Homo-oligomer: A and B are copies of this chain.
Amino acid sequence: MKYNGTHLFQKIYDYAIHRIESGEWKAHDKLPSVRSMAEKMKVHRLTVLKAYQLLKDQKKIYVKDRSGYFVRPEGLQTIDPSDNPIVSSFLYKNHLSEIHQIEVDYQFSKALINPNLLPNHFFAEFLKDVLLKEPEMIGTYSSLEGDLELREQLAAFFAEQSDIHVHSDELLICSGSQSMISLVAQTFLKRGDMVLLERPSYSMAIDVFLREGAQVETVDISPTGYDMEEIEEKMKQHRPKIFYLNPTFQNPTGYTVPSKQRKQLVELAEKYPCLILEDDTQYDMYFEQKPPAPVFAYDTEGYVIYLRSYSKYICPGLRIAVAACRYPLMKHLKIAKSLADNGVPLVNQKMFLPYFFSERMQLHIEKLRIALAVRKELMEAELAHSNWRWQSPDGGLNLWIQLPDRLPVDKLLSLALKNSISFVPGEICDPLKENRSWIRLSYSFVSESKIQSGVSKLLELAKEIET
């Protein structure tokens, strides 16, 4: 960095560093505020700020929110929680994204595909040609709804593959499905509105609805799906505006809701009018049998918004996802999207299109299914030595595991993190934040060899706690 007014800057810097190094200002002492220092030294506040920032970069001082600058203890290697946004917010709120960001050897918390399982080199070669063929994509804004050719091809693909019949106008390209959950919540919810969530549910979605000021009711999801009477009762009683669900290889449970219930759901949504937000990011990640047709396939009257993402298992670096719904809903979504971000960058869409519809890509998806099934089995084989309980899923990226009563999740998590193993405590996935005996173990991110050693290590730690 270059600094103007160098001698003034140097004056402040020298003043502070001298006091720190001499010990006049001790570890964790508060420095004079930028304002008071500027007045005292008769320099501009910016000059003080720059000097303090250099001291911070040099790890001589640290910042604590609005309260100011403090002398950093010498040789401090451990992270000061107040100085690290990830750790500090993890401390005050168990956000999933923050658990992910803690670097560990055994990342069982990440429900992501290991990048080595993605055909990045092939993709790079492929994209290179796309770029050179259509360089004007770089200088062009996308339309709000997304590239027409991409939407047309996706519409045809959905009809063939998932029994979803949509017109390209009924598709909206988005950047990751989370952005669309967020947009739907903003668009269709008012503060205090009721939202129905599966229990457990996707933690980020829970947070999105709570941020919008929604009230939350839950319906349990089990290996056989929902209790439909419970859903009707809750819809009748609470009149939720939105039911957010993830009925296929659900995150975190891996459970799949059967066809019959999917059809009934649409009827209930019409009866008590309720918008269904169907998050179907795992649809393609089945191990043997294709999952049932989406809830959206039964929606003739426009009560369902359907989300399919290709972020996770194709190209996380491009984050292409798509929302489908009937026209009246789509009109609202488009207006909302025009204000939120005005559309997905064109390059991402143009690169995704030929790649996704290439033979090699479809082959990759098939291979990926096998790789995931193998990982799942490895994890289950290792867990078979324990008294932990779970329902083996037919697809997806996770095992949802019930720990024995004598093994508290928080104790296991804290011991695991110390031993460089991470997983997701069930509480994070529980809209009611009560679920304390379950954990989510993802088998998709850790390498095959590490799945075995990591789970084995985790079971040993559990034994330590239990005995």
Contact = CB atoms under 8 A, between A and B. Distances in A.
Interface string A55-70: 0110000010110000
A208 B342 CA distance: 12
Contacts of A57: 167
Interface in A203-262: 204, 207-208, 211
A89 interface: yes
The 10 closest A-B pairs by CB, nearest first: A124-B135, A118-B139, A115-B139, A179-B341, A120-B135, A317-B347, A1-B159, A317-B346, A45-B300, A319-B345
Q: Chain A: interface secondary structure?
A: helix
A112 B121 CA distance: 35
A360 to B, nearest CB: 14
A191 interface: yes
Contacts of A95: 338
A348 B346 contact: no
Given A63-B327, A182-B339, A348-B345, A317 B138 contact: yes
A156 interface: yes
Interface of A: 1-4, 34-35, 45-46, 48-50, 53, 56-57, 63, 65-66, 85, 89, 95, 97, 101, 112-113, 115, 118, 120-121, 123-125, 127-128, 131-132, 135-144, 155-156, 159-160, 163, 165, 167, 169, 175-176, 178-179, 182, 186, 191, 204, 207-208, 211, 297-298, 300-302, 311, 315-319, 327-328, 330-331, 334-336, 338-342, 345-348, 350-351
A139 B341 contact: no
A57 B66 CA distance: 59
28 contacts: A4-B163, A34-B301, A49-B300, A50-B165, A56-B167, A63-B327, A66-B302, A85-B331, A97-B342, A101-B143, A118-B138, A120-B137, A123-B135, A124-B135, A125-B132, A128-B131, A138-B315, A140-B316, A141-B317, A176-B341, A178-B340, A178-B342, A182-B339, A182-B340, A204-B339, A208-B339, A317-B345, A317-B346
A440 to B, nearest CB: 18
Nearest to A48: B300
Contacts of A144: 97
Contact of A342 (B65, B132, B176): B176
Contacts of A3: 165
Contacts of A1: 155-156, 159-160, 165
A63 B170 CA distance: 12
Contacts of A342: 97, 176, 178, 204
Contacts of A141: 112, 311, 316-317, 319
Contacts of A155: 1
B35 A301 contact: yes
Contacts of A317: 137-142, 345-347, 350
Nearest to A110: B141
Nearest to A97: B338
Given A165-B50, A328-B66, A316 B178 contact: no
B182 A341 contact: yes
Given A141-B317, A159-B2, A136 B115 contact: yes
Contact of A49 (B127, B138, B165, B178): B165
A156 B2 CA distance: 8
Given A178-B341, A335-B89, A127 B121 contact: no
B89 A179 contact: no
